[in-house]
Each structure stands twice: as C-alpha cells, then as structure tokens.
Amino acid sequence: MAFNFNWSPLIADTSRARDMLTAALNKSPKPPIIVDDIIVTELNLGTTPPELEILEVGDLAEDRFRGIFKMSYTGDAFLTLKTKVQANPLNTYLSAKPSFASPQPLAAAAGLTIPLQITLSDIRLSGFVILVFSKQKGVTLVFRNDPLESLKVSSTFDSIPFVRDYLQKEIEAQLRVLFMEDLPAIIHRLSLRLWSPEFQELETEERLDAPKDTTVPIDPFSTPAQDAVDAFGNPIEPSQISALSLDDPAEVHASFSQKNMTRLAALSESQRTLSLFTPGIQEVVFRAWTSPAGAESGTNTPGLTQGSLSRIQSTFGSTRSHSSSVASGSTGNETQSSRPTLASGYSSSANLSLGANRSRTGAQRKRKTRVVNLRKTDGADSPALSTESNTPLTSTNVSETDSVIPEEQEEDVTTPPRSPPKNGFDVGNPTTLDPKSLVPAVPLHASPPKAPKPKQKSKISTPEPVEETPRASRRPPLSHSRLRPSQQATSPLLRSLSFDKVSSLSEKAKQPLSPPFSDSTSSSGGILEQAWMLKMAQEIGRKVQDEKDKQARRELRRSRGLEKEGVDVRDMAKGVWAEDEEVEAPPAYRA
C-alpha cells in the first residue's frame, strides 16, 4: 500500500486560499491593537512538503479514506499579512477598560495607526492530523493537538523589542486558533469546490451570505471522551481517542473516562485498607456480588444479573453437587471467563482480594483459621484418607473438572457449619432484610433441583431494603441464612456423589472451629485490634508449640533411633505433625 501526496499543484495557485484566509482572519474579534482588516497579501506553501507518518488507517476505499497521521513540517512556506495596528500602548490599554475608573488622559492616548506588514516564516508544525476524505463530503482535516511549535514573525517593528514581542505573542495565539478552528473549515470548503460540482454552484450563491456551516464536518470528532485514559491510566493520544470514537462502538469500551479510573483507584484503595466504602461503578460486576451474599447488588446492574446469577449457581453447585456445578458452568459462560483468575489465585493474593471484597469482620480471619483447622481436623479425625493433610483438596481437584471449583468449595463448604456463634449474628440481621428475600429460600428444602430460580427472585427483590445496612455486616449473615437450608436440602444429592468427602468435611469442621470464631465475633468493636491480638496470640502460641515440638522430636529421635523416624513419628505424635503443617501452610493465606 502506498500513498502519493502531490505537493506541487498545491503551491501553484493560492489566490483562493488567500481570500479564504483573509476572511477567516477577520472573522474572529481582533485584539484592540489591530485597527484594520487583516489582508493576506502573499501565501507561499514552499517547496518542502510536510512529513507525514501514517499512524492508522481507519477506513479505506476508492471513494473514501480515513486515517491518522503524524505530521511534522519544517518547510519554507511563508505568509505575508497586511494590516494596521495601534502603536500607542496607552490607547490599546485604555480601550479595553471601563471609562469610569480610567485616568482619561487628554492626548497621551492619542492613536497612531501604523500600516504593518507581517511575514510569518520558519513555521514549525508537529501534530496529529486526522484526515477524512469522502467523495460526497469532501476532505475534513482536523488537528488533534495544537500543531504550532514555533514560527518567526518578522514585521515593521522588529527594531522595537516590546512591539515585536507583543506581535509575536498575539500572532501565535491567533495562529493557534486558525489551525485548530479555521483551517479545517477552509480545507473542507476548498475540497468541496474541487469534488462536488453542485456545491460549486451553491457556493457562488452562498458567498454573499456569511459562511456559517463551515464547522459541521468536524462534528464526528468533536465529542470524544474527555481526558481519556487507557487501561493503565496513561492519557490516550487525542488521535487515538478520535479513532476510537470513529470506529464502531464496540471498541469504545477500550477507553475509560477519568472519572471511572478514579473510582477504580478508590476501589483498589479501599481493598488495601479496612475501608468499607465501595465506590459505585456503572456496569461493573464486583466479585463480591457474585457470591450469594452479595446477590442483592446484582439488580443495580440489570445487564449483568445473568452473570452473577450463574455464579451463585456455581458456588452452590460446587459445594453440594457436581452436576449443578457443571450446569452453572455451561450457563455462566461470561462469568466463567473471569473465574480462572480466582482459581489460580487460590494462593495468598486471591484470598486477600476476596477478603477485601467481602466482610472484614469475619471472613479474612475466618479463612485463615479455617484452612488451618481443616487440615488439623483432617489429619486428626480421618487418618484413613492419607497421611498428608492436603489430600482432601487435591482429591476434589481431581474429581472436579472445573478448575474454578476448589476455591469456591473451600469457601462455602466450610462457612455454614462453622457459624453457630454467627447465628446470633444472623438472627439480628434478618429483620433488616426483606422477608421476601428469605422466603424463596425455603422452597429449596422441598425442591432442590429448582434452587436457582427462587434464588434469582430473591436476589432481585432484596436490594432496596438491604442497601441501608453496611455491606460488611450484611453479607455474611445473608449467605449463611440462605446457605444453610439449601445445603441441608441438597445434602442427599451431595451424598450420592461425593458423600464421604464433603460430609466428613462439613461435619468435622463444625466442632473444632466454633470456639475461636465465637471469640472473634463476640467483641465487635476494634476490628483491627482484635485481628492483631488474635494473630499475635496465634503466632506466639505457634512459636511455643514449635519449640515444644522440636524438643519433643529430638527426644523422640534420641529415644527411638534414626532409621524409622518418619512414619513412626507421625503415628506417634499426630497432633504434633498437624501443628507442623499448620506452621508451614498459612503464609500462603496471610498477607
């Protein structure tokens, strides 16, 4: 592909362009120093063409073209203007001031109008140009930024520095306006005259009237996103953004407005801290919403309820029935795509972000202890499965095809049984909930297969009344109130599929977990302190335990001998080993 820009015919006849420039220069209100019309006496485009670098070609056909260029010009074009200027600075200064507080000089402000010839040369331009050409609509050329880099203004007043500087400043300002506003119009009119004969006739009639519609062809460019930024927050080049707005609307999503970016920043900020504030972002699904607890917020974004719905299904399914989890996987194709990140982030980072999204009072702390305790109970109560505490998780991974599931399961299986103390939490909260939100959950007992549908209803009906309560306190109870009955309802199904595993998990998890949890929830104030204290207590306890274990092991080794060490030690001191595992595992879940 090649473009052939022919420069020489452009420089041949400039009389029309001269007239149009003259008209354009006199259109806008002139500064008081210019007291006469500005007449373009000479216009020479020079022999050096501007350098064009094609950045993007948006549309290309025989009769139309749309592209973005990077233009730089260092040619020898020059322009000579003739006008009359007011040489008395006092005159121009006073003409713009109210007469009431003016010194009203007698003759010191007497005017001296001087014919002025200005030559603009050494014009240095560099900028992004958008060129749209179509046979019908002519050529539209728009500068996306201020292209004027520098120019040399030589005039009659070069010997007077004050006037020279003033002229240079004024003319540069005027030229910027010319490049940004007037030049596109001039080029458009010129091109129309060239290509459409009917316009030529129109034009001749129209010439008597004032030209008014000259800015119309710029319209498609005139409403790009304001201070657009890309996904990384870097400002998008004006040329790019205009290309985006020109292209089909699907691509517009690539750009975010500054406003949304700040909201996103606030959101990530709130996750880093203990802030409960979640900024509202339109058409965005929060991961927190995808859990059944946050289901009520799904109605805020009507377009996305489907996705969040399917996600709820998947969480339920994954916990209780693999069949339903498969179904949810098939329906929630949109949400599944976002899941892998979660699944892959099974390690510390994902857990952290999840915890940040959810309630801070319980979830994060819970999870930590829960994981630890799970293994402990596994190791302690079901030694038959395997000697390693990790086995239940790996086995589920194997049995379930969906990579998403382990994470979900890990969360949801453990939460409901663990919550006896949390029930008190729950009892208080449902009063703030819309009763409807809870009622549909009841039929779940009777008809487990229909579970998803009532869920959907309840989710839609909840949001308004619930919205008053802060999210952090609201979410966990909601999830429990719904999960428990449904879990019980689906338990037969569960048992049929992975009976031994899940049931053992849930049942075992109940007893050992409750004590620490009740501790944490009993004192609701001072979350930070509480967390800190708990952590410290655990840490210290662990250290002490560690020391004891080491000593115990040493003693064991000494007493038993070195050969049969591994198996025997495990058999003999199960609790010790479980503690050991605990020491190694948690760092992944702790930030």
Partner 1 sequence: MIDFMDNVQNAFYETSHWNLDNSYGALNATARALLDFQTPKGLRLQISSLAAPNFATSYTIGSVGVVDGSVSYLYSSLPVQRELRSANLALRHVIRGYRHLQELRRPDEKWWWELWHDGVRIDNRDTLLYGRIFLPQSTLEALYLRRLSPTRQLKITAVSDSNLNNGGTILALLQTDVGKYSTEYMYSTDSALLGVRGLYNFGYDPRVAPTSTPTAEDVVEPVHGRFSAGAELYYGLLNKSGGISTGLRFTTLPNHTGFPYTMTLTLNPLMGNLSSTYAVKAGKNLALCSRFDFNFYSYESELQLGCELWRRRSNTEVEWAVKKLRPEWKRPIASPDDDVSGILKARVDQDWRIGVLWEGRIKELLFTLGASVDLRKREQIFRAVGIELQYSS
Residue ranges in contact with partner 1 by CB under 8 A: 87-90, 93, 97-98, 100-114, 162
What is the sign, positive or negative, of the torsion defined by CA atoms of 272, 273, 274, 278? Answer: negative
Cβ proximity to partner 1, 95 vs 270, nearer residue: 95
User: Are 489 and 322 within 8 A, CB to CB?
Assistant: no
Cβ proximity to partner 1, 89 vs 280, nearer residue: 89
Cβ proximity to partner 1, 111 vs 235, nearer residue: 111
CB of 169 to partner 1, least distance (A): 12
Q: Could you please report the per-residue DSSP string of 440-469?
A: GGTHHHH-GGGTHHHHHHHHHHSHHHHTTS
CB of 193 to partner 1, least distance (A): 28
Angle, to 10 degrees, between the axis of helix 305-320 and the axis of helix 452-461?
A: 130
Cβ proximity to partner 1, 110 vs 202, nearer residue: 110
CB of 81 to partner 1, least distance (A): 19
Angle, to 10 degrees, between the axis of helix 363-381 and the axis of helix 471-522?
A: 50
CB of 479 to partner 1, least distance (A): 57
Structure tokens at 11: 């420089």
Distance CA 98, CA 310 (A): 70
CB of 118 to partner 1, least distance (A): 17
Cβ proximity to partner 1, 110 vs 591, nearer residue: 110
Helix (H) or strand (E) holding 422: helix 420-428
Among 475, 474, 477, 370, CA closest to 423? 477
Among 88, 87, 92, 78, CA closest to 32? 92
CB of 120 to partner 1, least distance (A): 24
CB of 203 to partner 1, least distance (A): 23
Cβ proximity to partner 1, 118 vs 352, nearer residue: 118
- CB contact set of 429 (below 8 Å; sequence gap of 6+): 469, 473, 474, 477, 478, 481
CB of 91 to partner 1, least distance (A): 8
CB of 158 to partner 1, least distance (A): 17
Distance CA 293, CA 98 (A): 67
Cβ proximity to partner 1, 106 vs 398, nearer residue: 106
Cβ proximity to partner 1, 82 vs 574, nearer residue: 82
CB of 360 to partner 1, least distance (A): 50
CB of 138 to partner 1, least distance (A): 33
User: Are 188 and 138 within 8 A, CB to CB?
Assistant: yes
Residue whose token pair is 């948006």: 58
CB of 159 to partner 1, least distance (A): 14
239 - beta bridge partners? none
User: Are 318 and 493 within 8 A, CB to CB?
Assistant: no
Distances (CA, A) of 246 to 79, 230, 498: 34, 17, 55
CB of 207 to partner 1, least distance (A): 17
In the DSSP assignment, the letter for residue 273 is S
Residue whose token pair is 């009976």: 499
Parallel, antiparallel or unpaired: strands 138-143 and 113-134: antiparallel
Cβ proximity to partner 1, 90 vs 284, nearer residue: 90
In the DSSP assignment, the letter for residue 301 is S
CB atoms within 10 A of CB 207: 11
User: Are 145 and 128 within 8 A, CB to CB?
Assistant: yes
Q: What is the dihedral of CA 119, 120, 121, 122, to 10 degrees?
A: 150
User: Are 278 and 270 within 8 A, CB to CB?
Assistant: yes
Residue 525, SS3? Answer: coil
- CB contact set of 18 (below 8 Å; sequence gap of 6+): 40, 41, 42, 43
CB of 80 to partner 1, least distance (A): 21
Cβ proximity to partner 1, 8 vs 104, nearer residue: 104
Distance CA 317, CA 310 (A): 10
Cβ proximity to partner 1, 105 vs 302, nearer residue: 105
